[in-house]
Amino acid sequence: MTILEIKNLDFSYNGESVLEDVNLTVRQQDFIAIIGPNGGGKTTLLKLVLGLLPPQKGTVHVDGKPPQETSQCIGYVPQNVNVNHSFPITAIDVVLMGNLDPKNRLSRRSATHRREALAALERMEMTAYADKKIGMLSGGQRQRVFIARALMAQPKILLLDEPTASIDTKGQGDFYRFLKKLNEDITILVVSHDLLVVSRYVKSVACVNKKLHYHDQAEITGEMLETMYTCSVEEVCPVELIAHGLPHRVLMDHGKSSR
């Protein structure tokens, strides 16, 4: 079953092309990593899927309809979730925000809503932290709370933009293991720079650098890097990837293909 269909998508900012002829089909229970250089269009692509930006050419359909008509099908955790660590809000209060009706911001939360919020926290193994202040949680725990909030709408697809940016190396592995379990019944797209870590858990990879190249495999290969990191003035040089711990064999493969 197709959850997301992108066809012949173009998008520009102030006349400067950001995405060109992007095509992608995402099916139920796909777990796709979106990788590419800074400025390659990854976050812009997510905004188009969310309906925050209109396509200038081509189409985006979520569950067969434009994103604006199916927002309840999409769960989203942005790259930077600003949290005032001193603000006395608990984890379950954050999750309950995922049930707010934007047309009725004064709607009261029922006992049913609280049960649903606890169930969402349980899926992320965070029930024990329900009444903890959000500022007291670790980066990984907070991210799981934010995902629980997104799950309140019972989405068919979950979009995550750099979800492990504030999580240490050990926590990243734990976090992706939670996502892999969650992927048993929900489709996931995750934007990530942690190529080595994410490749251990996702099912496939979409490389975005204006154009999109889909690879029906999880292993990061030299061919992928050659496709996406051609080292122009505007793009990130592959040397930067060494700092992310890519295997020596992959880097050697990339070096050979660049000659």
> What pLDDT, in 10s, does the model give residues 4-16?
999 999 999 988 9
Looking at residue 13, what is its pLDDT? 92
Dist. CA 19–CA 13, nearest whole Å: 10
pLDDT at residue 64 above 60?
yes
pLDDT in tens, 25-34: 999 999 999 9
In angstroms, the CA 141 to CA 149 distance is 13
Confidence at residue 44, expressed as pLDDT on a 0 to 100 scale: 94
CB atoms within 10 A of CB 210: 18
Instruction: Assign 257 a pLDDT band (cuts: 50, 70, 90).
Output: very low
For strand 204-209 and strand 211-215, is the pairing parallel, antiparallel, or unpaired?
antiparallel
Inter-CA distances, 181 with 130, 154, 176, 186, Å: 20, 16, 9, 9
Q: Strand pairing of 157-161 and 2-13? A: unpaired
CA proximity to 172, closest of 184, 160, 182, 164: 164
Percent of the chain with pLDDT over 90: 50
What pLDDT sits at residue 99? 79
pLDDT category at 39 given cuts 50, 70, 90 is: confident
Which helix (H) or strand (E) segment holds residue 226: the answer is: helix 222-228
Summarised one tens digit per residue, pLDDT across range 192-211 is 877 777 888 899 989 898 99
What pLDDT does 191 receive? 93
Asked whether the predicted pLDDT for residue 45 surpasses 50, the reply is: yes
Q: Phi then psi for 2, rounded to 5 degrees?
A: -80, 125
Least-confidence region, from 60-74, 179-193, 226-240: 226-240
248 or 60: which leads in pLDDT = 60
pTM of the predicted protein model: 0.81
Average pLDDT for 162-189: 89
Instruction: Give the pLDDT confidence score for residue 239 in this predicted structure.
Output: 32
Q: How confident is the model at residue 218 (pLDDT cuts 50, 70, 90)?
A: low
| Separation of alpha carbons 201 and 8, rounded Å | 29
pLDDT band at 221 (very low <50, low <70, confident <90, very high): low
